[in-house]
């Protein structure tokens, strides 16, 4: 039976977005010099009722084909990246990067579905004939998948290829760290090291710290790396090991958690959040929620904002707490309602910090 996990795939999506072109190249195997990354598509694929299918097709046949399923799956692609290919003449490509917290059987069927929807439903201009070329890749945070069928991506590829698939638990952490150090693997992959072979040993963690400390402070990966590596370490029950190793690491974790709750890459990094991130780049920020509950964090929040800005901070913290709590404990309207009534930002921060330690909604709400 497939284990139940929180939505670690959302964190993985954010990790990929930190270095979009480099990560797409690493995942798909397309050389970085052979394409340009244009953008992420904000697209949802919604299921249609059988009658709607029949109406769309202009016949009863489409409706009959759906007689064994009352409704098509409500598909929502994880990441849809639009690329311009430089090595071949073709329309723009859209790569669906499907992230799974745990490997599932016959994921090729789902990837087929996304690819078909891209080519049938999306257009890159107002001309209805301007269709994308769809492609899919799979990243398993845990477990392994084997995709059985070859896929032919039409006249723009002269050979049949399989969907690219990355099973992180099959990768050797030491090898990946060497590749990151020489620049052949993106820095963002550092966040996935705990999920790889020997990824939580003392030697690997020490080498991770050496590479991470050498990253320039303005690099997009730098500020979010410590939080991401601890989240993925939590997936394999190694969070405490990494938390101890990262105690002295000078990194800011606030921005990652704030941006994670915003729909598909929208930003809360306003001037206030930027100043907060700068001031909280201390060991206190490494243990984010705990340290934010101190007098220093309270004073910083007061200094950084007017009354309106403080309300935005409280709202953001509450959203972070609700996202993490519902992923960890399941949806509960009554408990959500109680949290929505909490206006004490300091208490909300303490609750965020304890999210991985408490075991239920009741334990979380008991924090004062």
Residue 200 belongs to a domain: no
Question: By C-alpha distance, which of 142, 139, 136, 173 is closest to 13?
Answer: 139
Same domain, 29 and 129: yes
Q: What is the DSSP letter of 241?
A: H
Per residue in 171-186, pLDDT (tens digit) is: 999 999 999 999 999 9
CA–CA distance from 331 to each of 248, 317, 335, 337 (Å)? 36, 18, 8, 11
37 and 159 in a single domain? The answer is yes
Is 254 within 8 Å of 285 (Cβ atoms)? yes
Tell me the average pLDDT across 256-269.
44
Query: Which pLDDT band holds residue 247 (cuts at 50, 70, 90)?
Result: confident
Considering the domain boundaries, does residue 147 fall inside one? yes
193-226 pLDDT, tens digit each: 999 999 999 999 999 999 999 999 888 888 788 8
* Torsion angle of C-alpha atoms 149, 150, 151, 156, degrees rounded to 10: 180
Q: What SS3 class is residue 2? A: coil
Whether 244 and 205 have beta carbons less than 8 Å apart is answered as no
How many domains does the structure of the chain reveal? 2
Nearest to 3 by CA among 108, 142, 110: 142
Measured CA to CA in angstroms, residue 255 lies from 226, 273, 281, 313, 361 at distances of 12, 7, 11, 12, 25
Q: Per residue in 53-73, pLDDT tens?
A: 434 434 333 332 332 233 333
Asked whether residue 224 is domain-assigned, the answer is no
228 phi/psi in degrees, rounded to 5: -65, -45
Measured distance CA(362)–CA(325) in Å, rounded = 11
| Domain termination residue (choose one: 140, 168, 196) | 168
Mind listing the pLDDT tens digit for each residue in 141-173? Answer: 999 876 654 445 555 443 344 678 899 999 999
Instruction: State the Cα–Cα distance between residues 85 and 151, nearest whole angstrom.
Output: 19
Q: Confidence class of residue 90 from pLDDT cuts 50, 70 and 90?
A: very high
188 belongs to a structural domain: no
- Mean of the pLDDT values across residues 101-126? 84
Q: How far apart are CA 355 and CA 6, in angstroms?
A: 12
Q: Are residues 144 and 271 in the same domain?
A: no
Mean per-residue pLDDT for 87-109? 88
Q: Contacts by 201-204 with C-beta closer than 8 Å and gap 24+?
A: 201/173, 203/174, 204/173, 204/174, 204/177
Cα distance between residue 136 and residue 148, in whole Å: 14
- For residue 254, is pLDDT > 70? no
First to last CA, the chain: 38
Percent of the chain scoring above 90 in pLDDT: 32
pTM summary value: 0.59
Task: State which residues form the domain around 282.
Answer: 252-365
Domain boundary among 138, 168, 198: 168
């Amino acid at each position: 039976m497939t284990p139940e996990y929180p939505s670690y795939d959302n964190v993985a999506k954010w990790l990929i977005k930190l270095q979009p072109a480099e990560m797409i190249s690493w995942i798909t195997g397309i050389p970085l010099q052979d394409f340009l990354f244009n953008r992420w598509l904000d697209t949802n694929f919604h299921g249609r009722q059988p009658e709607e299918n029949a109406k769309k097709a202009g016949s009863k046949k489409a409706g009959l084909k759906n007689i064994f399923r009352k409704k098509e799956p409500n598909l929502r692609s994880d990441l849809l990246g639009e690329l311009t290919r430089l090595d071949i003449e073709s329309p723009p490509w859209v790569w669906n990067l499907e992230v799974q917290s745990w490997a599932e059987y016959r994921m090729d069927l789902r990837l087929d579905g996304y690819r078909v929807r891209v080519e049938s439903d999306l257009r890159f201009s107002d001309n209805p004939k301007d269709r994308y070329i769809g492609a899919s890749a799979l990243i398993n945070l845990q477990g392994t998948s084997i995709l059985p069928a070859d896929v032919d991506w039409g006249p723009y590829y002269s050979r049949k290829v399989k969907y690219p698939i990355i099973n992180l638990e099959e990768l050797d952490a030491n090898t990946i760290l060497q590749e990151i150090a020489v620049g052949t693997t993106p820095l963002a992959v550092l966040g996935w090291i705990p999920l790889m072979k020997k990824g939580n040993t003392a030697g690997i963690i020490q080498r991770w710290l050496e590479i991470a400390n050498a990253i320039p402070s303005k690099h997009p990966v730098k500020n979010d790396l410590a939080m991401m590596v601890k989240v993925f370490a939590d997936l394999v029950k190694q969070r405490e090991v990494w938390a101890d190793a990262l105690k002295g690491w000078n990194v800011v974790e606030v921005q990652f958690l704030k941006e994670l709750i915003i729909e598909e890459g929208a930003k809360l990094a306003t001037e206030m959040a930027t100043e907060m991130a700068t001031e909280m780049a201390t060991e206190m920020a490494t243990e984010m929620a705990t340290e934010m509950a101190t007098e220093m964090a309270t004073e910083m929040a007061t200094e950084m904002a007017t009354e309106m800005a403080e309300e935005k901070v409280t709202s953001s913290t509450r959203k972070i707490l609700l996202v993490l709590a519902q992923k960890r404990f399941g949806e509960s309207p009554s408990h959500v309602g109680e949290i929505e009534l909490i206006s004490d930002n300091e208490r909300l921060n303490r609750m965020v910090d304890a999210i991985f330690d408490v075991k239920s909604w009741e334990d979380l709400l008991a924090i004062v």
